[in-house]
Every structure is written in C-alpha cells, then in structure tokens.
Amino acid sequence: MSPPELELATIVSSDFMENTYVVHQPSRTDCLVIDPGLEPEKILDYLDRQHRTPAAILNTHGHIDHIAGNRELKRRWPNCPLVIGDGDAAKLGDARANLSALFGASLTSPPADVTLRDGQTYSAAGFDLEVVAVPGHSAGHVIYLWRGGNPYIAFVGDVIFAGSVGRTDFPDGDFPTLAYSIRTKLFTLPDSTILYTGHGPPTTVGTEKRGNPFVGAGWDGRQMY
C-alpha cells in the first residue's frame, strides 16, 4: 500500500499487536524507525538483515507499547536522535504515565533528544515530516505527515484505526478532543492519504471519513461539543 517513492516494513510486536514502521527511500541506506515496540529484537534483526541504519527514532506518543524498544535502539545507536512531541516527552521516564505500571511492569525509555510541536517540520533520512498535534488518545500525541509522495502518508499512532479510534479511557484521554482532532486535522487531508496505524492494517482518510462508526459520515458529532 506504500507509494513507490519509499519502502516500508511493518514489524508487529506480539504484545498488544503494535506496529513498528521502518521507512526508507530506495536510494538510501538510512531509515526512520517509528514507534519501536515491545519486541525490539525483531526490529534489530530486520535492520541488520537489510543493512539499514536509523537516522531517527520517532515516537507518536508516550504509551509503553510504542516506546518500549527505544532503549535497545539507543543502546545500539546512541547518537541516533529519539524524537517525540513535547506534550508526551515526560511519559518516557515515568512508568505510571506511560502505562507500563498499569500492566504490572515498570518500563521506561531514555529521554528525548528532540521534542516537537504542532506545525514544525522534522527532517531525517531524506524525509521532511510535518508534525501535527492530534490529542485525545494521549494529550501530547502527534502524527508524522509526509507530503513528498503521491499519495501523502501519515503515521498516526493510536489516533485512528481501520474502522475504529484510539482508546480515551486512559488518564489524559478524552473522546470529544480526539473526535474533534480527527475531523479537523486528519479529515481535512486528501481522501487518498494513507494512514499507517499503530495497530492493525493501514487505511485511508477517505475510507474513514465515509465509514468509521466513531467519527465518520454516519456520526452526527453532537457529543463532541
């Protein structure tokens, strides 16, 4: 489903079935690693087999299933920048805030090297990624939007899934905020935009606008306000 201007691999962690994405341009050997999950050995094995070197580790948000692999990747590539939205950066070092304590563990990540805000552009591995703040699942959740190909692509973490949306029952979750964020930040993108989600298969903006039962065309949105 990826456009021809890039190559993309999806590495699924068995716990929570979370998607880690490794993205690179065909002419380059460096890459982006997005949301390294709870089985970092799978990511390291893939990078070694493909002879890829991460130019950046990108977190869409600070929940444990999306940051658990940060430590192993930073151990292997200590100079590789770890990047997250500034609103979720504190979760990296806080087992309660990143929800690992909720699941009986106490897992943390190294601190961020780079924190980002809505509207900024982050460039690495030949990609210029637009940072879009989309709160609701997590207060500091961001997505990474690449407009350099046709169609556009967005790495959306746990904002939206194929036919569903992210949970909002965590401490800083809020459904009205999430719904408003999706409709004003995601659904204003072209219908062809591919959404690479944190769990499950990719989808498109148009598909979710038409058919998502939580925020799509059939939902009147009154409870959002």
Flag whether 1 is in a domain: no
Flag whether 2 is in a domain: no
Flag whether 203 is in a domain: yes
Tell me how crowded residue 173 is: count the other CB atoms within 10 A of its CB. Answer: 18
Residues 6+ apart with CB under 8 A from 96: 102
Q: What is the CATH number of the domain that holds 123?
A: 3.60.15.10
Residue-averaged pLDDT of the chain: 94
Q: Write the CA distances from 104 to 22, 38, 100, 134, 197, integer angstroms.
A: 29, 14, 7, 28, 26
Flag whether 63 is in a domain: yes
Flag whether 136 is in a domain: yes
Q: How confident is the model at residue 15 (pLDDT cuts 50, 70, 90)?
A: confident
Looking at the predicted structure, is the pLDDT value of residue 195 above 60?
yes
The per-residue pLDDT for 222 is 47
135-186 tens-digit pLDDT: 999 999 999 999 999 999 999 999 999 999 999 999 999 999 999 999 999 9
DSSP label of 188: T
Flag whether 200 is in a domain: yes
More confident residue, 18 or 224: 18
Looking at the predicted structure, is the pLDDT value of residue 4 above 70?
no
Looking at the predicted structure, is the pLDDT value of residue 223 above 90?
no
21-70 tens-digit pLDDT: 999 999 999 999 999 999 999 999 999 999 999 999 999 999 999 999 99
Q: Contact 33/68 with Cβ under 8 angstroms?
A: no
Q: In what order do the strands lie in the sheet with 114-116?
A: 7-13, 18-24, 30-34, 53-58, 82-85, 114-116
Supply the range of the domain harboring residue 164: 7-224
Flag whether 202 is in a domain: yes
Total domains present in the chain: 1
The per-residue pLDDT for 224 is 40
Flag whether 220 is in a domain: yes
